[in-house]
Copies of this chain bind each other. A is one copy, B any other.
C-alpha cells in the first residue's frame, strides 16, 4: 500500500482541486453546508477532491466525462450535474464534447435522462 500523506495535505490539496475544477460552484456548496453539516463540507473537500480528483492516473477532462456521464445516468442529481457541466468547461472540455457525452447517455440510461442532461447543459451554456 502506498504511504499515507497527513490529512492536512488532503484538505489543502482538495481545496485547491475544488477551486480549479468547480470554481465558485464548489465553494458555494461548501459554504451552504457550513451551518448544517460543517464536517460534511470537510469530507467533500477531502475525499472526492483531495483523494480522488488529485490522483495522477486520469486527466481532469476524462474525470469530468466520467462524472457528467454518471450524474446524467443517475437522474436525481441535477444540481451536481450543473456544477460539473461548468467544471467540464473549466478543465477544457468543449461544449460539443459535453453534448456528445449527454447524448450517449440515451443508450445506457434512456432518453429522459439524456434529455434532462441536455436541458441542464442548455441552461449552463446560456450563463457562460
Q: Could you list which residues of chain A lie within 8 angstroms of chain B, going by C-beta atoms?
A: 1-2, 4-8, 10-11, 29, 32-33, 35-44, 47-48, 51-53, 55, 57-58, 62-63, 65-77, 79-80, 96-97, 99-116, 118-119, 121-122, 125
Contacts and interface: CB of A to CB of B under 8 A. Distances in A.
A114 B65 CA distance: 16
Contacts of A10: 7
This chain: copies in complex: 6
Given A51-B43, A57-B99, A108 B7 contact: no
Contacts of A111: 44, 48, 80, 107-108
B104 A43 contact: no
A67 B70 contact: no
Contact of A1 (B42, B103, B112): B42
Contacts of A75: 74-77
Contact of A37 (B77, B80, B116, B118): B118
